[in-house]
Every structure is written in structure tokens, then in C-alpha cells.
Amino acid sequence: MCLALYGFGARQLADTGVYEYNDVLFRADTRRAHADLTGPRDKVGRRSSTHPAFVLLHHPLGRGLTNGLAAAGLARPAARKVASATLTAAAGAASAVLALYVFRASGVRPLLAWAFAAVLAVSTAHWVFASVPETFIFSALGLAALTFVALQRPASEWRFQLAAVYSIAVLVSNAVPVAVFALFRHARVRPKDWRDARRSLVRAAGSTALALALVAALGAVQQLVYPDAATARPTQLTRESRWVEWGRWLETPAKTAKILVRHFAVDSVLAPAAERSWNDGRPMASIEEAGRAAYRTRAVAFALWFAVLGVALAGATRVLRRPAVLLALALVAFNAAFHSLFGNDRILYACNWTLFVLLVVACAFDAAGARARRLERPAAALLLAFLLAQLHGNARLFGEIRTAVAGLSAYPPASSRANPSDAQRPDERRGAPPGAE
């Protein structure tokens, strides 16, 4: 099912220009990721400061698939698009499957675990970013694997390291979840005294440090294999500070809080209608500042989602002490705090938190049904009804994205600068050029 969904999304967006332009789909670096997955070896890896070993781990697969499809007679540009779509779809499907096991390991009953895994698969975050070339669906895969391994009892260190290294290698900010999971693994039992607590902290710190060291080693190998790749150094990461906007909480606190609540509680699961915005003189699809009208087009689906949240709220007090729920809440809090300052279109980063939001909702929803047996079947019917409405609503999103970026090829081509993805890009949305719609 997942591969069919993501294949549908890829076909809908294949001819829109998202492979040729950055910053036209929620400010995603689609052109850069497409090159990193399938481009020539000497033309990839130019923005490795935040993705330390992404190219090393994925480019051989993407390039090999591209060459195989081209040898089979497919034109190389089409072969590259199919290869990109195949890799992102596979990552999205694998993350949904792992989410199923995460829900089961967290105590969610089988039927509801399947249903919430399907909700994740059809979510805005996963459906969109498993359909276009970007790094975030691979981050979702790493975080799902990390969560699944951390919830195992006992979990061997080498399995944890595999998931941790992959997570950080594709997105450097995943070092924070890795540290949280490492502490969770080594401090699972209440410490007897301060020495026991210190021992747990030291082990967690050592596990995190080992993962970082292994990622650094992979980055060094990547730099040797790919000439344009650069190792991730603190000085490189400081360039990302241009996306940090400290004045948000001082100048527009109500607006900032509203956007964060929307993106974490609603938009990452079920998106409002996409709107045409403008960035660097080109049309862009965005939902960052969607108004009420954008939500009315999915009124039934949103009503059902709020009903699901209402049922989950009824069971919330019964699961707040579960380790998996506390862990998920901690990671949701981290992402909310981080992205209250970092980034523009926050839906771009939603793959990093959607699993954890749904993990909390799934556990609480399950607990509410178990508490009142007579409501168990109506609650399951409600969830199924929402899943169908979500499927319809998010499928419409792809048509709205096409409309939002229509005519993109008539605008100036992608930058000819040596490194368009890493060059200074405008932080503000620019108005539409004269004569544009």
C-alpha cells in the first residue's frame, strides 16, 4: 500500500519542476537531494554539513539503480527520477512498517497499531516527503529504527549503534534524539544511589559519543569518495544559523505559538490546502500561514481527527507514566522548541516528529478504549473513518501543490552558482514579481 501511495505522489509531482528547483515545495532542497541520490559522483555532496554521510549511504544505490534503468532503455533523466522516487518510497514504507512494531512494543493492541501505522503512512509528512527527493524521509526511517531498537529488552549496543549512526548520518540534529534514547536505554531502571545514576549517565554519554565518532568516520570516507563533499565541522554548522530567528517569540509570540500547535497537532498528519507563495521570485507551495479557508476544504476530515484526539485525551492520564510515552513527549518537546526558532516552513521538518506525536496519541487512544469496553468498537470505527478521510484529503494536496507551482518553468532557471543549495538564500518570502498572479 505504501509504495502505491508514494508512487502516486511521485507521479503527480514528477513534471512540476521540484526535481529542477530548490525551495518550491515547502522550501525543500529537492534539487539538491535529487542530485545527491542519483547525480554524477563528482557533482554531489556539496551540502554535507547537516547530512554528514547521506551521500555515502544512498548515492551508490540511487546511481546504481539509475544506471540499471538507463541500460534497460529508459532515458537517463527519467531513470534518475524513477530511482529517486524508488529510494524515497522505500524509506517511507520501511519507516511505516517499523512504526507498526514501535506501536506494538509500546503496548498498543494489534488492530489499533496497524491503524495508526497506516495513519502515519498517509500523513502529510510521510506521504509528501516519500514522494519527492529530500533527506527528511530518511531521517524518519532512522528515528523509527532508533525507537524500535531502544524499546527492545534487552537491546544490544551494536543494534542501537546501527540505528543511531544512520540517524545522525542523514541529519545531524538527530544527535539529540540519539542522546535521549541512549539515556533511556541506560537509565531504564531507577538508580539505587548517585553512583548508579552517574554510571548510567556515563554509559549514555559514551554510547552517544561512539555514534558521533562513527558518523565522523563515515564523513571522512565520504569526503575521500566524493570530491565535493565536505566534513561536518562546527564552523560549517554555524552557517545554518541564518535560519534561526530569535525574534519570533518577542515580535510575534501568538503567531509563532499558533503555527507550532497547528504543525504538531494537525498539519503533519492532515494538511490544509496548499497555497501559492513566492520565494526568490519563483512560485512555491506552502501551508505555513494557511488561513481558515484552507482548512474548510477538509472540514469533515479535521472534525474526525479532533474526535480522535478527544478520545486520546480521555485516556491520556493512564499512559503518561509509560516510558515510551515519556520518551515520545520529550522528543516532541525538543522539536517544538528547536523549530520555534529554526526554519521557515515548519512542515518541511515534520518527519522528525510525526511518529512521536502519533505514538502518544495511539497509546492514549488505546487506553481510552480499554477503559470503556463498550466504546471500543465505536472508537475503532472512528479511527477507520478518519483514515479514509485523511487519505482523501492528503491525496488532494498533491493537486493543490501542482496548481501552486504551475508555470514554474517560465521563471528564471535554477541558480547556476556552484553550490545553489548552500548559498545564501533569502530568509523572507518575496512578493510576486510584476505581472505574476
pLDDT in tens, the chain (437 residues): 888 999 999 999 988 888 888 888 999 999 999 999 998 887 776 677 788 899 999 999 999 999 999 999 999 999 999 999 999 999 999 999 999 999 999 999 999 999 999 999 999 999 999 999 999 999 999 999 999 999 987 778 899 999 999 999 999 999 999 999 999 888 766 656 667 778 888 888 999 999 999 999 999 999 888 887 766 555 555 666 666 777 777 678 888 899 999 999 999 999 999 999 988 888 999 999 888 999 999 999 999 999 999 999 999 999 988 889 999 999 999 999 998 888 788 999 999 999 999 999 999 999 998 877 777 788 889 999 999 999 999 999 999 999 999 888 777 655 533 343 333 333 334 444 434 43
Those residues with Cβ within 8 angstroms of residue 290's Cβ, 6 or more apart along the chain or in another chain? 262, 267, 272, 273, 275
Q: SS3 sequence, 257-277?
A: HHHHHHHHHHHCCCCCCCEEE
Q: How many other C-beta atoms are found inside a 10 Å radius of the C-beta of residue 186?
A: 18
Overall pTM > 0.85: yes
86: Cα within 13 Å, side-chain hemisphere? 18
Q: ∠ at Cα 39 (33, 45), nearest 5°?
A: 55
Predicted confidence at residue 321, as pLDDT, reads 87
Cell of 326: 515519556
Q: Transcribe 117-186 into DSSP letters.
A: HHHHHHSHHHHHHTTSS-SHHHHHHHHHHHHHHHTSSS--HHHHHHHHHHHHHH-GGGHHHHHHHHHHHH
160: Cα within 13 Å, side-chain hemisphere? 26
- Whether the CA torsion 136, 139, 143, 149 is positive or negative: it is positive
- Asked if residue 130 lies in contact with residue 137, where contact means CB atoms within 8 angstroms, the answer is yes
Q: Is residue 156 classed exposed, middle or buried when 0-12, 13-18 and 19+ CB atoms within 10 A define those classes? A: exposed
Amino acid at 389: A
- In the numeric block, the cell 497509546 is attached to 363
Predicted confidence at residue 146, as pLDDT, reads 95
Predicted confidence at residue 190, as pLDDT, reads 63
Phi, psi values for residue 29, rounded to 5°: -90, 60
Predicted confidence at residue 275, as pLDDT, reads 92
Q: How many other C-beta atoms are found inside a 10 Å radius of the C-beta of residue 127?
A: 25
Q: How far apart are alpha carbons 397 and 290 in whole angstroms?
A: 13
Residue-wise over 384-414: b if at least 16 C-beta within 10 A, else e? eebbebbbebbebbbebbbebbeebeebeeb
Predicted confidence at residue 105, as pLDDT, reads 93
Predicted confidence at residue 192, as pLDDT, reads 63
Phi, psi values for residue 279, rounded to 5°: -145, 120
- Asked if residue 12 lies in contact with residue 399, where contact means CB atoms within 8 angstroms, the answer is yes
Predicted confidence at residue 293, as pLDDT, reads 92
Cell of 105: 512494543
Predicted confidence at residue 379, as pLDDT, reads 87
Radius of gyration in angstroms for the set of CA atoms belonging to the chain, rounded to a whole number? 21
Alpha helices in 187-226 (DSSP H): 194-225
Predicted confidence at residue 424, as pLDDT, reads 37
